[in-house]
Amino acid sequence: MRHVAPPLAELTAQAQTLTSAGDLAGARDVLADALDPADADPRRASPDLALAAALQARILIALGDPHAARTWAGFAHAAEERLHGPHDERTIAAAATYAAVLHRVGSHGRAIAFGLMSLIRAWLARREHRLAIVKLNALSDRELKDVGLERDQIQTAVTRGRTSVDQGLISI
- Residue closest to 18 by CA, chosen among 7, 39, 32: 32
Q: Three-state DSSP class for 20?
A: helix
Q: Which fold has domain 8-127?
A: 1.25.40
118/139: higher pLDDT? 139
Write the pLDDT tens digit of every residue in 49-88.
999 999 999 999 999 998 899 889 999 999 998 998 887 8
The pLDDT assigned to 108 comes to 63
Averaged pLDDT, 112-138 = 78
Q: How far is CA 66 from CA 10, 93, 112, in A?
A: 25, 17, 16
* Domain segments of the chain as ranges: 8-127, 139-172
> Given a cut of 50, is residue 137 above it in pLDDT?
yes
